[in-house]
Chain A
Amino acid sequence: DIQMTQSPSSLSASVGDRVTITCRASQSISTYLNWYQQKPGKVPKLLIYAASSLQSGVPSRFSGTGSGTDFSLTISSLQPEDFATYYCQQSYSTPRTFGQGTKLEIK
């Protein structure tokens, strides 16, 4: 199985901050990397697929980069609605493993 490791596990930031969450795969996954946002009690929402492609309807303040084993999700200017837990997921092979999540909290 490909292991996905996110860092940090939690992060405190303020509205307007630029934040970056990283995800590392245990082996190369090309650009088969997806990012999801999940708010408490809500369904996960796809933000980024193929490492850097913005899902339709997702604000442009979200961006993704990376290939191979190292990836990042950046929020350019945090908005109040962005405080949530973020998960990366590889779709290079099965099992389609998720990272352990990064909880983004208000400072």
Chain B
Amino acid sequence: QITLKESGPTLVKPTQTLTLTCTFSGFSLSTSGVGVGWIRQPPGKALEWLALIYWDDDKRYSPSLKSRLTITKDTSKNQVVLTMTNMDPVDTATYYCAHSRRYSAYGSFDYWGQGTLVTVSS
């Protein structure tokens, strides 16, 4: 059974750095083809893809946010960490992490965490 759960602060101040952790179970990020991605959704708006890390440490970022994002993995802890620098109120959103299989599921996100709402406000 695959599960993912996001954790991190619910409130950050403008200009601060956000660090979110995705802790997962039921799969290994050392298995070929497996990836974990981050997606966010501002209140009442559409989904926005942020970043993705694969089993082989291949990392992909949204070009519009690339300068602010870092994604890393700790295979031994079953965790993926996303950091986003210079937070702004427009970054207020629910942040999701999700499991992806590059080959057998065409890179879709088949399992999602429950999401965590991050509010950026002074």
Contact = CB atoms under 8 A, between A and B. Distances in A.
Contacts of B114: 43
Contacts of B108: 34, 46, 49-50, 55, 89, 91
A44 B96 CA distance: 9
B49 A43 contact: no
Given A94-B60, A95-B62, A98-B48, A50 B105 contact: yes
Contact of B63 (A1, A43, A46, A49): A1
A31 B115 CA distance: 28
A46 B109 contact: yes
A96 B37 CA distance: 10
Q: Is the interface of A mostly helix, strand, loop or mixed?
A: loop
Interface of A: 1, 31-32, 34, 36, 38, 43-46, 49-50, 53, 55, 87, 89, 91, 94-101
Contacts of B115: 43
Contacts of A49: 105-106, 108, 110
Nearest to B100: A91
A97 B37 CA distance: 12
A34 B109 contact: yes
Interface in B31-76: 37, 39, 46-49, 52, 60-64
Contacts of A87: 46-47
A101 B106 contact: no
A1 B122 CA distance: 33
Given A36-B109, A91-B108, A96-B52, 14 more contacts: A32-B106, A36-B47, A38-B47, A43-B114, A44-B47, A44-B112, A46-B109, A49-B106, A55-B110, A89-B108, A91-B107, A96-B60, A98-B39, A100-B46
A96 B107 contact: yes
A34 B106 CA distance: 8
Nearest to A34: B108
A98 B106 contact: no
